[in-house]
Structures are given as C-alpha cells and as structure tokens.
Amino acid sequence: MGETVYLGIDLGTSRTSITSSTGVRSTVWSYVGYPEDHVAQKMLGGREVVYGEEAVENRMSVKLVRPLAGGVVNTSESEEGELNRKAVKDLLEHTISLAQAPPGSTIYAVIGAPAEASVDSKAEILDAASSFVDSLIVCSEPFAVAYGLDFLRDTLVIDIGAGTTDLCRVHGTMPKPDDQRTHHVAGDAIEAKLSELIKNQHPEAQYSIHRLREMKERHSSVTKNMDKALLTMPVAGKPQEFDLTQEIFDACYTIVPPTVAALQELIATYDPDFQQKMRNNILLGGGGSQISGLGRAIEEALEEYGGGRVTTVEEPQYAGSNGALKIALDMPEDYWKSFKDAS
C-alpha cells in the first residue's frame, strides 16, 4: 500500500498555491492557455495546454482562460462555460501534479474556495478535482487562513483575492453562512478603477491589463506618504514617463469602505459581550493584504465604530494553502474514508 499524501490548495482567481505533506510548496498563476492552431502548438513544443505565467506570456498565440474570474466558476452551458470547466479541471490537475506524490499514493486534499462561493461553483471544484485525489473537502478560504495561524477564537478574517474580498467570523467552530460575507471590490476591481483613472488623466497612454496589474502590484499603497509611482508607458509607440501616484492611491483605497462595512456588519450581528474582542482581532490575508498601509487604513476607518486592530499575515501567498493542509492533517482518518466512500 502506498503512502498517504495530504494536500492544501488555495484556488485563487489570480494565483493558485499548493502545500503538501511531502514538503512541496508551489504557486501557479490561475491561467490556462490552449494553442490557437497547429503553428502555436508547434511553437509550444507540441503541448496542448500551458499554464500560469507561460500561458500569459504566450497570450498572442493561445486561447487564454482565467477559469476563476470573479471568484466563481462559469457553470453555464455555453461554449465559454464549457471551456471554463475544462480549464478548472486542467488547472487543478496541473496544481496537484506539482506536489509530486509518489506513484500509488492515497491523496487527501482540502481546497479553499471563496467564502460565499455558489453551490454550483463548489460542486464544479469537487467534480474537477475528484479525478486526481482519493478524497476531497472544499472549505472557506478565509477559514483556512485562520486555521493555519491558530486564529480560531473570536477572529474576523479578511481574505483579499483578485475577484473577491472574503470575510469570515471565526469563533471556535466551522463557520456557518451567516458568519461569512463576500464583496467584489478586490484586485480586479482595483485594476479596473486604476484603468479608469489613467484614461481620465492620461488618455494618450497605452497599456495592457497585464501591464496594469504589474503596476498595481509593484506600487499599491494607501499611505498618505507613499513613494512616487513613476511608470513608463508608450504614447503612439514612444515611451513616456507618467506620475501615477495619486491614481494608484485612489484606486487602492476603493477597497477600504466596503471592507469596513462588511466587518462592521459581522461585528454588529455577533454576541455583544464579544464584539470588542472580535473588533481587536482582525486578520488580514490574501494577495491584496500586500497593499502598503492597508491594515492601518482599515483601523483608521473603524475608529468611528469603536476602533479595531488588524494583523497582516506574514506569508499571504501560502497562508491559505498552509491552512488547508493543516485542516487536512488534523482531519480524522474516518472523516476522509467517509468522504471517499460517499463519492
């Protein structure tokens, strides 16, 4: 009988990370590319599918799919929905292969999904991954972050991804639907706002969405004294430098009001004897947590509600997958067998 390998997977809109009990940790951009024609396939060494950064770099010759755009799987019966379902399955197969589980291993996996992911999306994830693992659980991404860091008592978790910002109230049990909130002001929305501001202020500038994302990730900040964001973009094919400091600040700050509103809603509907404790125990994770000064900006916005204290995770890239792996390792063997037998 082969060994048992446990996997924790953070299935994200922008990046997907995996942490395994074999010691493997890896991240792949959540993109899948399918060659447009036989010439493209030849250029890609005969491969029928490429992943992550390679797919983005070859986007002029592949059909580029971002299967979790918006934080959900497109489950429609359209051609686009069918391609998205295929891409989710291919992305999960590729991600699981990164764990390099020995042949004959029994594989148990926990996958983190957006807090309020639809039933259809979760079912699609379960179906897509079931071909590659022996037993599988889909849990809330923010809960996985909290579990991995042992923030399990009266904690509010904020997990900022590309498609959604997920919030979860953690109080010593598995979260219920009323413990969770999701809003769609996240990485993609910040990029859309930044694009709008650049077009208003510098309509002559030329850029791609991928260049825009690179700008945001390098300079994102909500601090009043942020470093200048000087960026070079072509104008009619000629490189020109632009000062986008204010535009980047304004775009990034759009995430603060809806996040604070969702936090306050989760606090206000909690037991009043524990509200202050929860307000002072906010955990900020996800790729968006790397926006400079975001934790402090949320604290300042919470002052009118009685204040709050925000802790930013130290390793946002792997906080979700680490937590999912910890859940997998802590799950009794009987649970895994019952899930396996029910599949």
Choosing from 253, 270, 298, the residue where a domain stops is 253
Residues 197 and 305 in one domain: no
Q: Which among 244, 260, 246 is positioned nearest to 294, based on CA atoms?
A: 260
Looking at the structure, tell me whether residues 61 and 26 fall in a common domain. yes
Q: Are 221 and 292 in contact (CB under 8 A)?
A: yes
- Among the candidates 236, 253, 270, a domain finishes at 253
Closest CA to 129 of 165, 170, 85: 85
Out of 253, 277, 308, pick the residue that ends a domain: 253
Residues 86 and 131 in one domain: yes
One domain for residues 173 and 307: yes
In this prediction, residue 343 carries a pLDDT of 46
Residue 218 structural domain: 187-253
Asked if 85 and 122 sit in the same domain, the reply is yes
**Is 302 in the same domain as 155?**
yes
Largest CA distance in the chain: 66
CB-based contact 136:143 (threshold 8 Å): no
**209 shares its domain with 243:** yes
Specify whether 248 is located in the same domain as 259.
no
Residues 6+ positions from 199 with CB-CB distance below 8 Å: none
pLDDT < 50 regions, the chain: 341-343
Cβ atoms within 10 A of the Cβ of 276, count? 14
CATH of the domain at 118: 3.30.420.40
What pTM, to 2 d.p., does this model score?
0.84
231 and 108 within one domain? no
- Side by side, the strands of the sheet bearing 4-11 are 25-29, 15-20, 4-11, 106-113, 135-140
CA gap 32, 15 in Å, rounded: 12
User: Could you give the C-alpha distances from 60 to 37, 226, 252, in angstroms and in order?
Assistant: 12, 35, 29
* Same domain? 55 vs 74: yes
Query: So what's the pLDDT on residue 332?
Result: 87
Same domain flag for 43 and 102: yes
Are residues 96 and 22 part of one domain?
yes
In what order do the strands lie in the sheet containing 62-65? 50-51, 32-35, 62-65
| φ and ψ at residue 223, rounded to 5 degrees | -95, 140
Taking the C-alpha atoms of residue 20 and residue 43, their distance in angstroms, rounded to an integer, is 33
Count structural domains, the chain. 3
Whole-number pLDDT of residue 82:
86
